[in-house]
Structure 1
């Protein structure tokens, strides 16, 4: 037994030792390599057909794999490397390439590709510089990827394209090896114009692929996803980059069909996108702000696709990735002729033939084609940042006039002639197409945006505002001469005084504060928004030259915007909006119906208005704030606002010399005091923007008067957003929050009532999850539906800093009060006035049965339909059967210590509701008005006894969410005005 054990154990050890010795010995290693190669050739020669001879094919595969392993092992060992030298001297890669191309066997092809890759990676014997090696490898790659080749697996294709990429990397690092792979014999380097006529045919059809087959191999895979697409695109970029050092390659690329293939490929991907689209969100990931509104999932068909459809998202991402590849090509291309050729094909084939016709033919009445094309255009503009591509798109779609350009083109006559021939070919190709007659002369993007802003389709309005915001935020210089009606502005005469500035900021913040909320939380909110506003202003493209430190004369100037296409707007001059601007007035029309708009529309219009006002070159006086020319001041400057007069005792020369200086200082102080005065607040001097915002605040006050428990419901909604934000935040710290107001909305709105339509199913699941968490400790930071920072619909509203809202010093200006809309500043709910301890005590003192009744009544109120408010308020009874709800709740709480909790009649004898929430520290409670367990509470209908026919109605829940959106926007607007005043020298202090 021991003998056999020793025998079996020792045999492999001896064999391994022999193999290691053979690998270490260069002579024995080469003998082994030659033996494997001879066996490979013998098997190939004796086999008549490898496609049918399975054994021979398997033997060849194994021999190739062994050859590759020997080369890989040798490359890691010290010199000499006889096997690699044998491959170079005997040129064994030539028969190996022939074997692979004729085998039609994927496994043999894969091993042959690995063999060539190993030789290239060895960086010995100058394989990449050898013409025969390049010809053999090129022939192999072309044959195995051609039309008549077998279908390769994804793994083999990746290895093929990776091998081609490795070659382009070598070319990039060593440009002198380019002639080995690119045979430009047919391309004249120096010739007269008559020579190009004879050579033109050599640049057409398949013959051109023979000059640089590796180039076209990469072109075939640039549209693929994953590794294979990355290798192909990057390798092609390296080839285009190498054209800057080779006139022959530059001319070849210009006359090749690179630009045509790229443009048509981009157009094909765009054509795959759905023509009709609706914006939707997955039910399981519905943003809280939409779940707590009247959001309903739009209907989809086989033609109308949802934006959250996985297939649609994949197609859109594929299109955008190829668009970014265009941008990468232009960034890597140092040849102006190649770049101009690419841009010309981009404009004619993609813009004129596809993108513009889709905009022209879009409509918001055919199921969402306007939504689709406007969304696609927005994503295009948001994805690109190359100035030439942006200029081409906006210059064409906005119908900007062409301007002569003195661009310096290539000095090589051969490249210039090739460029002209390519342009002529493109013009003749497009001349026969009917689509080429589309020109944005009578109808352009400006007309489309203006018409879509007046659409009755809320999604069309929303996506149009998002597109408008993208243009204003990223490409403002294109908007001032097209989308916006502007006029020149004199910065000296349009400066607002510091007093007027502070008065207007206080007015906007007063409107925001009047909507309710805890004062300390609002202070933190405003401080956080100030930081966000500073970031927004500083990141605007037009802000660089305005806020950057002035450079010394010896320093370099700020970089100019690059331009290689004529017609691009250059510097943005100081300007302001005219009051009759159609875009601004359309936005104000949308604000007029703010509370019945969809939440997405309101988020879009507020974002667009902020982006309109963020540019430092646009003056906000006259259309957003009052114009200084309309300031009216009451009386003269008070004496106590200046310094006391200087004493005149003594008549020496020194005192006489001080008199002029004192007079100058006195004049300066008077000028400062004059600028600190508050102008008289007159409604006639207010622009439509401020009047509209003030009207919205008045509408909230009317809602507050007509809707029972309005402030309680509003605070509950803030808490709901706070809870949702805490739940979405990563690993929030366990900081306890304020207690819950009794009567808080605990369950979803009942959709079974006949008086109220069914609520969306998305709200039911979300509300159950959110309201059930309101009684548990959560993060104390409040949340907002605004989502400015990350572009989402739900993000932080309440920040953490502790800077208070700007206050008004009343010591020197008792006669100039800031308009605060009466007592609206303090119309807060009882939950706001109570501290945490009193709220806890109040909650604990109310039986669970009554809490359930409160929740049920809140559901009833939230589900009521209302329209836009008016000053005519007429109470309509809202009847709700609290008896059944009390009975159900009492059954659950029957085991409690308080015996009255189990008595259904107890809930029928609760106190009368407190109609004035400012005079009570206790939550309002329902009143027993009639028999049969039915409680009746009054809810005023905004427009008389019934809403007029045709007027849109939304639920109270929807109105409350829009109130929170409005409050956040008002704070953002105030913060933007305050930041602009400190950065752009808009304030006059003296």
Structure 2
């Protein structure tokens, strides 16, 4: 009967009272009052909730029901009697007290939810009510304090999220701030405080408990840390609307807590570090070199360690939080207080001492601190933080500080805080260590001369970051530069053509069977991107409005003493950094791959600044051009006899054009040391080519191995073209293949975190290359207003004029060894598997042999290279294959062709032939990259004169 009655009445099958009470405001209020009365009765009748599980569960259920009623009511049409009742009777006060003293996480969580529901209702002005805020903050402070129970991560997340919601409302409506912050007037008790008490802050936590609650969670990971950090940013942003809050923050220990927290995270990083890669994830370019995993001990941590990476990311995230605080802070006084503490506590007391105490002989402390500094400079963009770090570490001179603050009370507060900070530091520092005697430049120069390849590589990466992102700080510190006050001589188009031909001539001398046109075009595109994205290029390339002035991003620093806007300059020949880079370049083939990639990256970054003139240190100095006697010009008789002014002007322009097209005399003695060193490296490749059996075949195999390693698809590589086929045919039919060095910089240095240059052996994308059949160089075409054809007039001389050495002008500079001819005759011939295995064994034996840098033969007696003796195919004592004479003869190789190579130097560093081949490819890509950079600079910055 009851069923039919409900059905006819149209009611649900659920208990009739619930829905009726929800829809009826009076019934809903009656139910709310009953639940609240039951809650109070249970609480008052329970002396100890912590020991009475039944009572605790009943209270938890009552709180949940109250919250559900309020949440449901806030979504229904007015009236809302339950919310009005909660406000008028201030039921949140006893509920907050119950949750505070319960020591029961279930009750605590429901209590937090009850307060959050009242705030979300946005009625009765709960967030503006001082009694409400006091009750809520008393609850939150007590349950997160040291004497409270340990809360679960979910409960902590709800607590911090509730706090964040309050800061959001304060941000949107600054008028509610007084309900949560009250700066109480107190007598000045500074005389009774010691230096430490003054240093940690004069204000008291009870003035703004919400502020300190958020500070306690800013170091947490995940949602909790995100809510805490963002909420604190909103409070700091609100300080600009309240003089009292601004002064309170200045005198509080916010800056102290943030600086010491950052220092604590930095101290957790390992003091000793080695750069390594996870097992099974070694980049192909390192796998095909002499790379060895560094030794890891209990003291020396690997950069591939998950624990280290976690600590590093936590530290960097807090550093970025510092940057976010400064970006959100609209108060000059608060910002300067934060920066003062950052400098004194972090820079002076932690970062600089770690650089000062680092050593290259204790197993990686130099690698550690240099890596940390590089990551710091890569992560930061705020000009004031960057200025503080580089200004202090580079020992730049201080300037007179500008007056700060427009409000006397705030300025006085910051002055008191600064004096307290100085007093505190003076009492805790026995020896005043500053960069005046040993600064970052000294450390870099010392580290670049280290015997540790990891130290050198890490230092070069740091130099690269400073040059690329903060070039203006390097102009008078890392680099010895000369300012260019006038235009002076400018590179002519004739000289430019000659220099481009010389660079591409060097790249062609390395050899190869690839499509060099495509590779070079990719380098041109990458160089354009590199130059356009350089910070110094903004004022050079951005369109300027009439009468407007453009500032560098870095010049927006508000701290006095920032370097002035950068001007046109060039490197002096005696620059120590340039000399050091050339010295490291001289041992290119025996350097580690990481060192060479870091070295070439630093050189490119040095030449990427639009204000850095490359003439004189990278290219020949235009002021030293010399020309042959000018040839008598053949004048047009009509123009000679014509007295027309236009004709005379046209004749003068033609003459000027011809003058700019003249090619200077190529004087090797006047070449910059950098070009001389590049030429010497290509000469060393010729020595290797003449001494190492099958050098060109092995080099081409290495190139194809990298292409295959980086290919995204499984398409088999096409067979190599036979020499009889035309190059044009090969160019049109060969598919485009990506280089094996794609995304190399990201794979080699995964800890960089910032995008590097595009992909190739140098960190740029490369395609297969093939030089022009006419001159051995790529045919250059440019879309940047500059055409750079190869110039047949007065070409740069080769360093090997005799006919015995392969010319770099040949389209393929292969060794004259009979191996080459024999192999060419075998193309397309089926070879038995046994002979193929024998041939592969010869290659592996050659690749595994150790060699050093080539030296003049007159200086040292030749040492046998691969000792491939005649005999049966066996394995000797060293585990190397010995190939029988008859098997070598079967595949067309004479034994005497692979017996010796006169390239070992006694006492020199030795590396495998495999390592040499990989470095050869890196060098070729680097030369092409330099050529592309020179060409793009000429068009982008107008560095070449045409008339």
Normalising by the residue count of structure 2, what TM-score does the alignment of the two structures yield? 0.88
In structure 1, stretches of 5+ residues that fail to align are 189-193, 650-654, 743-776, 832-837, 888-903, 914-923, 930-935
Contact 1:353 1:435 in 2 (8 A): no
Deviation at 1:792, TM superposition (A): 9.9
Distance 1:353 1:29, change over 3 A: same
The match for 1:716 is 701
Distance 1:906 1:611, change over 3 A: closer
Query: Alignment partner for residue 926 of structure 1, among 893, 900, 914?
Result: 893
Deviation at 1:778, TM superposition (A): 9.9
The match for 1:817 is 795
Deviation at 1:870, TM superposition (A): 2.2
Contact 1:579 1:623 in 2 (8 A): yes
**CA-atom RMSD in angstroms:** 3.5
Contact 2:198 2:420 in 1 (8 A): no
Matched residue of 1:432: which SS?
A: helix
Contact 2:838 2:887 in 1 (8 A): no
Matched residue of 2:901: which SS?
A: strand
For 1:673-692, list aligned pairs within 5 A.
673-692=658-677
Whole-Å Cα distance in 2 between the matches of residues 410 and 906 of structure 1?
84
The match for 1:646 is 638
The match for 2:538 is 544
Matched residue of 1:487: which SS?
A: strand
Question: Is it true that 1:240 corresponds to 2:236 in the alignment?
Answer: yes
Whole-Å Cα distance in 2 between the matches of residues 158 and 525 of structure 1?
53
Query: Alignment partner for residue 345 of structure 2, among 319, 325, 349?
Result: 349
The match for 2:719 is 739
Say which is worse superposed, 142-151 or 4-13, in terms of deviation. 4-13
Whole-Å Cα distance in 2 between the matches of residues 884 and 154 of structure 1?
71
The match for 2:256 is 260
The match for 1:948 is 906
Query: Alignment partner for residue 939 of structure 1, among 900, 903, 909?
Result: 900
Deviation at 1:112, TM superposition (A): 0.5
Distance 1:19 1:645, change over 3 A: farther
The match for 2:938 is 981
For 1:219-230, list aligned pairs within 5 A.
219-230=215-226
Matched residue of 2:51: which SS?
A: coil
Query: Alignment partner for residue 598 of structure 1, among 580, 592, 602?
Result: 592
For 1:582-661, list aligned pairs within 5 A.
582-637=576-631, 639=633, 644-647=636-639, 656=643, 658=644, 660-661=645-646
Deviation at 1:926, TM superposition (A): 3.5
Matched residue of 1:576: which SS?
A: strand
In structure 2, stretches of 5+ residues that fail to align are 723-733, 746-755, 773-777, 782-786, 801-806, 817-822, 876-880
Query: Alignment partner for residue 929 of structure 2, among 972, 975, 987?
Result: 972
Whole-Å Cα distance in 1 between the matches of residues 198 and 788 of structure 2?
86
Contact 1:522 1:798 in 2 (8 A): no
Whole-Å Cα distance in 1 between the matches of residues 307 and 486 of structure 2?
52
Whole-Å Cα distance in 1 between the matches of residues 74 and 38 of structure 2?
23
Cα deviation, 1:787-834, whole Å, max 9, x if unaligned, reads 352689886542499998345999997542244556124344599xxx
Whole-Å Cα distance in 1 between the matches of residues 77 and 943 of structure 2?
73
Deviation at 1:124, TM superposition (A): 1.1
The match for 1:896 is none
Deviation at 1:522, TM superposition (A): 1.0
For 1:167-246, list aligned pairs within 5 A.
167-186=166-185, 208-246=204-242
Matched residue of 2:900: which SS?
A: strand
For 1:542-581, list aligned pairs within 5 A.
542-553=536-547, 561-581=555-575
Normalising by the residue count of structure 1, what TM-score does the alignment of the two structures yield? 0.85
The match for 2:452 is 457
Distance 1:12 1:909, change over 3 A: farther
Matched residue of 1:150: which SS?
A: coil
The match for 2:435 is 440
Query: Alignment partner for residue 766 of structure 2, among 798, 818, 830?
Result: 798
Distance 1:123 1:428, change over 3 A: same
Question: Is it true that 1:963 corresponds to 2:931 in the alignment?
Answer: no
Cα deviation, 1:675-710, whole Å, max 9, x if unaligned, reads 111111111110100000000000001000100111
Distance 1:697 1:6, change over 3 A: farther
Deviation at 1:505, TM superposition (A): 1.4
Matched residue of 1:264: which SS?
A: helix
Whole-Å Cα distance in 1 between the matches of residues 552 and 463 of structure 2?
28
Whole-Å Cα distance in 2 between the matches of residues 794 and 377 of structure 1?
23
Contact 1:254 1:337 in 2 (8 A): yes
Contact 1:506 1:806 in 2 (8 A): no
Distance 1:559 1:51, change over 3 A: closer
Say which is worse superposed, 672-681 or 420-429, in terms of deviation. 672-681
The match for 1:415 is 410
Q: How many residues align?
A: 892
The match for 2:106 is 107
Cα deviation, 1:515-539, whole Å, max 9, x if unaligned, reads 12235x2110000010100110011
Say which is worse superposed, 196-205 or 974-983, in terms of deviation. 196-205
The match for 2:681 is 696
Contact 1:203 1:255 in 2 (8 A): no
Distance 1:204 1:883, change over 3 A: closer
Distance 1:810 1:576, change over 3 A: closer
Whole-Å Cα distance in 1 between the matches of residues 789 and 229 of structure 2?
69
Distance 1:221 1:792, change over 3 A: farther
Contact 1:631 1:679 in 2 (8 A): yes
Distance 1:814 1:49, change over 3 A: closer
Whole-Å Cα distance in 2 between the matches of residues 970 and 877 of structure 1?
29
Matched residue of 2:570: which SS?
A: strand
Distance 1:211 1:372, change over 3 A: same
Contact 1:381 1:470 in 2 (8 A): yes
Deviation at 1:185, TM superposition (A): 3.3
Distance 1:12 1:277, change over 3 A: farther
Whole-Å Cα distance in 2 between the matches of residues 830 and 847 of structure 1?
26
Deviation at 1:364, TM superposition (A): 0.5
Whole-Å Cα distance in 2 between the matches of residues 670 and 779 of structure 1?
44
Deviation at 1:779, TM superposition (A): 7.4
The match for 1:774 is none
For 1:752-901, list aligned pairs within 5 A.
780-784=737-741, 787=745, 788-789=756-757, 797-799=765-767, 805-806=778-779, 815-819=793-797, 823-826=807-810, 827-828=812-813, 842=827, 845-872=830-857, 874=862, 876=864, 878-880=866-868
Matched residue of 2:14: which SS?
A: helix
